[in-house]
Amino acid sequence: MRKLFNHLVCAAVAFALALPAGAAPASTDPSDAAMESIRPEAIRAHMNFLADDLLEGRGANSRGYEISARYMATEFESMGLTPAGDAGTYLQTVPLRSVRSEAANTTMSVTRNGNVETLTYRKDFLAAADPARKETSVEAPVIYVGFGVTAPELNYDDYKGIDAKGKIVAMVYEAPNFESSLKAHYSSIEQKIANAAAHGAVGLIVVNDPILEGLYSFKEQVRDLSRPGLRWLNKEGLPNDYFPQLHGGALLSLEASKQLFVGSGHTPEEVFQAAKEGKPLTFALPLTVKIHNLAKLEDVSSHNVVAKLEGSDPALKNEYLVYSAHLDHLGIGEAVKGDTIYNGALDNASGCAILLEVARAFSQMNPRPKRSILFVAVTGEEAGLLGSDYFGHYPTVSKDAIVANVNMDEDQMLWPLLDIIPFGAEHSTLDGVVKRAAERLHLALSPDPMPEQVIFIRSDQYSFVKQGIPAVYPSPGLKSNDPKIDPVAIFKEWEETRYHQPQDDMQQPNLDFSQAVKYAQFAYLCGWLITQDPQRPQWNAHDFFGDHYAKKM
Ligand SMILES: [Zn+2]
């Protein structure tokens, strides 16, 4: 279908050129030519550079990342885009704090019936280091609060009838079976931490259950902990999402989680099954837990890259569409199959390469789109959406002037693109935008096929949503029209063998850059439709995120 479409467009252009002067061309939509200008070789070339071993995996706050940021800035400059970072540059400084638990001085113990059981760091538990205090200690009784979710608008409260004041709250990672993006929102650890703090808890334990173990195993979490955690710092120097009333946090292994329920009157199987069914139990545990943590804190910084294409409409040019893609990946880490460089080719050199080519396509348009566009390559996504959250709090243009966000992350260019999963679009009029774009490109739209993966909160669009800005993250769908190609199996294998591993590099087989062009065209077209529409995108009436986060006009 893609090839046929390309031929049709090429034929239309050729026909238009052959027309005598004055005759109406077959197509007058300037976006056709802009989309045709996106070339697979250009996407491949950007990815080759960004995912090169010399950039050492672009860990936020690394030399390799800074080189990649200069690359993005240089490309934007060569297209004639205006710098829109700090002080007339393409870079926006993001102050960060690096946080690491000192393994030797991080302890956890459980006291039950007067017996003290000591847990082993990295074998039984991992501790969340406090981003503002070098040393923290907490000892308190523990209440199991199910998911730890309070959602009054959905009539849901795991804390109902529970006094968590002065207690450590234990919870499983998941969320109730709400609709996909609400489930994702409520499963986010930041929401759970804020909710625990609001209920007067002094500490928090995440209990591992078979679901979490399947999604992100304790072993993988231990491996990823070889890198320090990062937080962004606000203008007062405080870390983001910080609650000083919480004095300790830990994640338990599956085995240690099961042990926690001993003597509680509930078997771990019963506890896990109830959570799986979306109706978790809540009860006090007959024990106290002590967590002591010593952290190593260091202030560092990184950069977002921000470029602007000014709109052509005298009024609408004061409004901005923001395209985002995260530029960072995981840097250098534990060796896997003898390789220590986590190149992040699909995650997310792909999105940044496409960001550049979408920017190029827009920059060559004459006249330019009506609204202005910001192209933002963000840092620290892998460490918790840091660069985009920082940009959301401190945008380099007026926040009210940002009308929408289109985010690009992990283009799975491993099978032909037949459909798109438009994460988040259903909450706003962006739903209509993705429908029109999909129709024009002969792509289908598919619902979230894996709500348990909570994709909606796992990339940078969520940072914009939390600022009340309608956002969409188009992700390649899993449809196939060829019995020999099974995208679900390909994706699953990629997740197991390459996702967040050094093997997500440019040597991986079957990278299909013509797929990437199609994905880029879809992203381009969404932006084009948003910039041309006299109406800015609106949240749906009574939408959860609109009601929660958007400023009432
Ligand atoms: Zn990632």
DSSP 220-288: HHHHHTTSPEEEEB-TTSPBTT--TT---EEEE-HHHHHHHTTTTTS-HHHHHHHHHTT----EEEEEE
Q: At residue 300, does pLDDT exceed 60? A: yes
Q: Residue 24's pLDDT is what?
A: 47
Q: At residue 2, does pLDDT exceed 80? A: no
Q: Are 183 and 319 in contact (CB under 8 A)?
A: no
Percent of the chain with pLDDT over 70: 95
Residue 390 corresponds to which tokens in the numbers above? Answer: 């920082």
501 CA distance to ligand 1 centroid (A)? 10
381 CA distance to ligand 1 centroid (A)? 7
464 CA distance to ligand 1 centroid (A)? 18
The least confident of 17-21, 227-231, 298-302, 337-341 is 17-21
Q: At residue 244, does pLDDT exceed 90? A: yes
Q: At residue 6, does pLDDT exceed 70? A: no
Strands 331-336 and 339-342: antiparallel
Helix axes 63-78, 350-363, angle to 10 degrees: 20
The pLDDT of 244-272, averaged and rounded, is 96
346 CA distance to ligand 1 centroid (A)? 9
The pLDDT of 275-300, averaged and rounded, is 96
The pLDDT of 74-85, averaged and rounded, is 98
Question: Left if phi > 0, otherwise alpha if psi is -120 to 50, otherwise beta: which for 407?
Answer: beta
Top mean-pLDDT range of 12-21, 176-185, 394-403: 394-403
Q: Residue 552's pLDDT is what?
A: 56
438 CA distance to ligand 1 centroid (A)? 26
Closest CA to 393 of 109, 49, 95, 63: 95
Q: At residue 283, does pLDDT exceed 70? A: yes
Q: At residue 207, does pLDDT exceed 90? A: yes
Q: Rounded to whole angstroms, how far apart are CA atoms 295 and 98?
A: 10
Q: Report the chain's C-alpha Rg in angstroms.
A: 24
Q: Residue 128's pLDDT is what?
A: 83
Q: Residue 243's pLDDT is what?
A: 95
424 CA distance to ligand 1 centroid (A)? 18
The pLDDT of 57-81, averaged and rounded, is 97
1 CA distance to ligand 1 centroid (A)? 30
Higher pLDDT, 468 or 22: 468
Q: Is the dihedral of CA 469, 358, 478, 219 positive or negative?
A: negative
373 CA distance to ligand 1 centroid (A)? 25
Q: Residue 26's pLDDT is what?
A: 54
Q: Residue 452's pLDDT is what?
A: 81
> SS3 breakdown of the chain: % helix, strand, coil, rounded to 5?
35, 25, 40
Q: What's at 446, amino acid-wise?
A: S
pLDDT tens profile 134-175? 999 999 999 999 999 999 989 999 999 999 999 999 999 999
500 CA distance to ligand 1 centroid (A)? 6
Cis peptide bond N-terminal to 367, omega within 30: yes
347 CA distance to ligand 1 centroid (A)? 5
Q: What is the pTM of this model?
A: 0.89
261 CA distance to ligand 1 centroid (A)? 33
The pLDDT of 444-458, averaged and rounded, is 89
Q: Is the dihedral of CA 409, 309, 539, 550 positive or negative?
A: positive
383 CA distance to ligand 1 centroid (A)? 9
Q: Residue 224's pLDDT is what?
A: 79
Higher pLDDT, 188 or 361: 361
Neighbouring CB atoms inside 10 A of 89's CB total 14
382 CA distance to ligand 1 centroid (A)? 5
pLDDT band at 455 (very low <50, low <70, confident <90, very high): confident
Q: How far is CA 258 from CA 255, 263, 267, in A?
A: 5, 11, 8
The overall average pLDDT reported for the chain is: 92
266 CA distance to ligand 1 centroid (A)? 37
